[in-house]
Amino acid sequence: MNGLIDKEDNVMSKVAVVTGASRGFGRAIARRLAQDGFVVVVSYLRDAAEANGLVAEIIRMGGDARAIKADVANQFWVKSFFEEIAKALGRIDVVVNNAQVLPLQPFDEPGNENEAMSTNLRGTFLVLAQAAQRVVDGGRIIVVSSSAQARSDAAYAPRRASEERVEAYLYRLASELREHNVSVNVIACGPDPTGFSLENKTKEQSIHLGKHGQLERQEQPADIAGVVSFLAGPDGHLVTSQVLCASSTAA
């Protein structure tokens, strides 16, 4: 197969890849991009039922999607994941790296910092490396990150450390891909109220995550999906090498 062809106008359909898309921000992003006309690849690691349910939902809406399991922290798995997409669909126009974790861990309570570094830092690097090789000219690469860098809480140390390096990736990759007219941007979000961000958090920690912010409300998955839609769409073609803060909790 050399790509999906729209029978009405004989134009190859655009393809968007969303990692960590089984629920939360990723699910909303995948749904929105499908509404925008993309064939969407829903990447997941553990929630096969949720991912396949999302694919079925998108198809019922009249869109096209497929679910593929992938561990973004595994170099060989990531490479195989992108090879499978390229072989099946023929092209990749947009990559949204949304797979991430948000551990709350003070410096004096080590234990899960490796998860943050493995998924948020190494995983992002591996996905961006494959995206850089495979996204078509004029394509878009988007990283859904967090606004944790704007917070001084000690519990955010592992996340802040990983996100600082993600921004370093942004500027370098945007520079390398400019000759191919590929934009690279980061969206800094607050905690996802429906996804992994609030897993394993106490009620007090969840309230703490959502109570700070200039807008006095917590952003919802549809809010972030709208920002991704803009960056991935025709109106976002001039935006590159930017960290867009889309968080009401970053104050």
Which pLDDT tens digit goes with each residue over 190-200? 776 665 555 55
Determine whether 169 is an active site residue. no
Contact of 106 with 157, CB cutoff 8 Å? yes
For residue 194, what is the DSSP state? T
- pLDDT below 70 — which residues of the chain? 1-11, 101-119, 147-165, 192-218, 248-251
- H runs (alpha helix) in the chain: 24-35, 48-60, 75-89, 113-116, 123-134, 157-177, 203-211, 221-232
Contact of 98 with 120, CB cutoff 8 Å? no
Q: Show Cβ contacts of residue 231 under 8 Å, excluding neighbours closer than 6 positions.
A: 140, 142, 183, 185, 187, 239, 244
Q: What is the pLDDT of residue 131?
A: 97
Contact of 39 with 65, CB cutoff 8 Å? yes
Cα–Cα distance, 54 to 31 (Å, whole number): 8
Q: What is the pLDDT of residue 6?
A: 60
Q: Residues 44, 156, 169, 171: which is the catalytic one?
A: 156
What predicted TM-score, i.e. pTM, was given to this entire model? 0.83
- 3.10.310.30, 3.40.50.1370, 3.40.50.720, 3.40.50.1000: which CATH number matches 15-245? 3.40.50.720
